[in-house]
Structure 1
């Protein structure tokens, strides 16, 4: 361990370290490489039974808030993924932390990320002056396999706009630092009480818009993966259902009048 170093020098050291040397810091099963996370295209092929999961009428109404560029759908299947497990194990450019406005170690995902990253994460967070709801700030990853942590503060009052801003500003951090892969937890759905299903709609919709914007700028090719990390069974079921709407792996889409189930 390097707890005798200050966070600034340690951050620089780790960010300049080769991938091979970074991996030497971990046991073999303590990190999950990006190439082992199945893209949604592969996931949907291997789990044909997912097509039996139908959206509700409420889902269909929420989906009307976006119009997909269907010409891009096929290639975007490679750019998104669902991962069920520990976000702190992911060897990606950045994992997103569902932080509090003080950027102090809390519970849930926040606590898990701080524990895995080590004390220097909190030391750097202490220099950032907190973070308003909906905004995002970036730090090093320290003892995490991820290079960076993007801290974003979800709404406690059920604000859909602020939750959307969490994703938008996290993507903005990603762009600013030229990152190619990012992993999101289910922001605000824990003790902040945001409805899980609506939160997933917002996450998937914002990701789809982000990727479509970058396709028009001819930048989507360099994007490796946007990963939606699920842990609770309810979130696994929700994401497996809704991702089929926002990233359809078939020719038709739900705006064409696909059948839905009553909730």
Structure 2
């Protein structure tokens, strides 16, 4: 499913982000960048191979809303943009602002590296309500695209790892159903 916004194709795709054929993927990382766990972070580290952990150890720490970049190692993507999303605390603790920063800073880093295609997982999916998270993602991406200087991005893929994210994407993204 896809739509076009500000000259960029934006897709909603159901599948495994580690198999996505794009120039860069975003990792919903933990602050220590260790790849622990069974979510997107762990899957990306496992698929990338041991070089990913070594590169992340060299980077150290990533504060929420910020981005750190590594090579993709054994992934199809050339780059992995590691960003730390907020933990949902009811919506009144600045969560939306931090989540939007994850998207904006990831787009900034992708553009700085000449990335043509970028895949995002559902950020903070472990704690954030899917519909609220998809609204933030859609708004942040569109605001960035509307204000961005010329860039190489031609394709952005929002990866739905489960039905709730897919359904939220279908509700939020125009032309997708």
User: Normalization by structure 1: what TM-score?
Assistant: 0.61
Match of 2:20 in 1: 90
**Structure with the greater relative contact order (CA < 8 A, sep ≥ 6): 1 or 2?**
2
- Pair 1:199 & 2:133 matched: yes
Match of 1:135 in 2: 66
Q: Radius of gyration: which is bigger?
A: 1
Higher fraction of strand: 2
Q: Are the aligned partners of 2:111 and 2:153 in contact in 1 as well (CA < 8 Å)?
A: no
Q: Are the aligned partners of 1:84 and 1:231 in contact in 2 as well (CA < 8 Å)?
A: yes
| Structure 1 residue 105: Cα displacement | 1.4
| Structure 1 residue 118: Cα displacement | 0.1
Match for residue 209 of structure 1 among 113, 130, 143: 143
SS of corresponding position for 1:227: strand
| Structure 1 residue 91: Cα displacement | 1.8
Q: Are the aligned partners of 2:22 and 2:76 in contact in 1 as well (CA < 8 Å)?
A: yes
CA distance in 1, matches of 2:35, 2:15: 21
Q: How many residues align?
A: 170
Instruction: Give the ranges of 4+ consecutive aligned residues of structure 1 lying more than 4 Å apart after TM superposition.
Output: none
Q: Are the aligned partners of 2:119 and 2:158 in contact in 1 as well (CA < 8 Å)?
A: yes
Which stretches in structure 2 are left out of the alignment for 5+ residues? 90-94
Q: Are the aligned partners of 1:94 and 1:148 in contact in 2 as well (CA < 8 Å)?
A: yes
Give the superposed CA RMSD: 1.7
Match for residue 97 of structure 2 among 151, 155, 161: 161
CA distance in 1, matches of 2:35, 2:108: 23
Q: Are the aligned partners of 1:79 and 1:223 in contact in 2 as well (CA < 8 Å)?
A: no
SS of corresponding position for 1:229: strand
Higher fraction of helix: 1
